[in-house]
A = this chain, B = another copy of it.
Amino acid sequence: MKFSYVSHLQCPKCDKQYNAGEKHQLCECGSPLLVNYDLESLRDILKPEDLIKRKADLWRYKELLPVQREENIVTLGEGMTPLIPMERIGAEMGIPKLHMKDEGIIPTGTFKARGAAVGVSMAKELGIPELAMPTNGNAGASWALYAARGGIKSTIVMPVDAPKITRNECAIAGANLYLVDGLISDAGKIVAQTVQNQGLFDVSTLKEPYRIEGKKTMGFEIAEQMDWKVPDVILYPTGGGVGLIGIYKALKELQTLGWIPEGKLPRLVAVQSDGCAPIVKAWQEGKKESEFWEGSETLAFGINVPKALGDFLVLESLYETNGCAIAIDDATVLEEQKRIAELEGAFVCPEGAAVFAAARRLREQNWIKEEEVVVVLNTGAGIKYPDTVDFELPTLQPGELITKTEVLIEDQE
């Protein structure tokens, strides 16, 4: 039995094939490449129950991941994040079977760790000495830290406005870190030039084929955690869209393996900010690709992506599953974030809060039905965004007493 059942890479636009085990970036035609597996062989060899004894991390799906030699795996124990019932806020929304997949409970505190773990492992397998990427913060932090663990150098460029914590993560990992007085698109241009001048490997979103493979493990885990049944709806915060593309890919692979039922897949929902909603606009207009969103702005930094390279794959996943796309405003995001903490004890990131708000709204519109099983993805820990939360707090002097005031009691209720 082989370690991985990877077969080849293929372009989803022009169908051109490439060998696995070689260094590739985009297809000649400019499209991202997708990784293919020999699922027909694997179908007879691997069964879901074979996974039971394996470690609770994403490498339990090694046959469906591209790394071919175990010694190249660069891991910090990422994956098999909790899938937990959200009964109290679910009741409030009228979705009693609401669940959260909590991607804050992973190394580096964000789902980006999955893409970095598999991407950096592949970079190691391919003998790449140094990688480069632009980032809005979290992806750069994850890739810089995993690269450090893999003994690979990294060059990271991020906007000066990106969360300070992610800057610290890159810097302490020993990355060549640069800030840019601009947007991620400006960072992208600097990285593209550096890649060309210095011969670095470009690991920008979807410019290498393996980040998707890491992200798709969220789809495997949701299915396994639900005992190989799938939910009716999965909602996902969508910037670059790699997570959604990955989950869709995972579900189709599981169908081919016969591990989940043929036919109807969960309806996938792309959640964006109304300050940056290119996918929502394209979906509303029934288009296959999105247009660049001018003047984008949202406090949910991770979904501030005006034009995603994989937009056509995101939109395909929505159309194919009878899903939808929806935008939420920042004020609603902050309100929902507070409500989730008060009722469920989970301090989610703004992107995660947007997804809860989207579930609430889609239930109001009856697009989500009361009896449906719904999974919302929280893509990161709220503690990575300290500045989105601000409270006026009473300060006591030593020896002073707490008095039970009306105001405090109201605050609690």
Chain A contacts to B: CB under 8 angstroms: 52-53, 56-57, 74-78, 80-84, 88, 102, 104-109, 145-151, 153, 155, 157, 160, 164-165, 167-169, 171-174, 176-182, 186, 189-190, 193-194, 197-198, 337-338, 341-347, 381-384, 386, 389, 391, 393-402, 404, 408, 411-412
Contacts and interface: CB of A to CB of B under 8 A. Distances in A.
Contacts of A391: 167-168, 171-172, 177
A148 B402 contact: no
Given A105-B106, A109-B109, A198-B404, A179 B381 contact: no
21 contacts: A52-B53, A57-B82, A78-B82, A105-B105, A105-B106, A109-B383, A160-B395, A165-B386, A168-B383, A176-B408, A177-B391, A178-B394, A178-B402, A179-B393, A180-B398, A180-B400, A181-B398, A190-B401, A194-B402, A197-B401, A381-B383
Instruction: Please give the count of copies of this chain that the complex contains.
Output: 2
Nearest first, the 8 A-B pairs at minimum CB distance are: A77-B82, A149-B345, A56-B56, A186-B398, A171-B391, A145-B345, A182-B398, A172-B341
B346 A107 contact: yes
A81 B77 contact: yes
Contact of A344 (B83, B149, B389): B149
Contacts of A150: 345
A43 to B, nearest CB: 24
